[in-house]
Amino acid sequence: MNSYGCERCRAYVQHMDEQHRRLNAELRRLHDEVQAGGGHRREIVADLAALRRDMAAHFREEEDGGCLEEAVSRCPSLAHEVRMIEAEHRELLEQLDAIIAAQRQTGLIAAADLARFAAAIDRHEAAEDHVVQHGFNVAVDA
């Protein structure tokens, strides 16, 4: 692979890692706030809705010719794995929608629900990391 190709791979991986770190930090912050009993209902709903918008945008980017598609173009055997990852996007957003709806309706959100959602996101990102590692033949920071 030429140096341009290597730089492009590195840029894809760095961008994906940066987005994952940012989204995870926000999710962990919300979990900690809910667990501590802090925050007003409207603020938490607004923060969850913002997280949902950010995640939806991140997923669209991945699906619309982003890092995962580039990995498949370099290693076509990853196509099935990427289809499964992309199918999870809708499921993850639905899980977050259910958490937001519960918070809007009752004002009660269980830290355990957010912890389960965070665990699902962690598993999802691990699958994406696997694709990127194999598609670009690079190590991904965990």
Q: Which two tokens stand for residue 74?
A: 């370099």
Residue 26 amino acid letter: E
- Cα separation, 99 vs 88, in Å, equals 17
Q: Which two tokens stand for residue 73?
A: 């173009």
pTM listed for this prediction: 0.85
Domain ranges, ordered by start, for the chain: 3-136
Q: Considering the chain, what is the average pLDDT of its residues?
A: 85
Report residue 40: phi and psi, to 5°.
-90, 155
CATH class of 3-136: mainly alpha
Residue 12 amino acid letter: Y
Task: Confirm if 117 and 95 have CB atoms less than 8 A apart.
Answer: yes
Q: What is the pLDDT of residues 74-131, one digit of tens each?
A: 899 999 999 999 999 999 999 999 999 988 887 777 778 889 999 999 999 999 989 9
Mean pLDDT in residue range 63-75: 85
Residue 47 amino acid letter: D
pLDDT-derived band at 141 (thresholds 50, 70, 90) equals low
| Residue 67 CB burial class (10 angstroms; 0-12, 13-18, ≥19) | buried
Q: With 50 as the cut, is the pLDDT of residue 34 above it? A: yes
Q: What is the per-residue DSSP string for 9-51? A: HHHHHHHHHHHHHHHHHHHHHHHHHHHTT-S-HHHHHHHHHHH
Three-state DSSP class for residue 62:
helix
What is the per-residue pLDDT for 122? 94
- Cα separation, 97 vs 28, in Å, equals 17
What is the per-residue pLDDT for 4? 47
Q: What percent of the chain has pLDDT over 70?
A: 88
What is the per-residue pLDDT for 75? 92
Task: Confirm if 108 and 102 have CB atoms less than 8 A apart.
Answer: yes
What is the per-residue pLDDT for 26? 94
What is the per-residue pLDDT for 112? 83
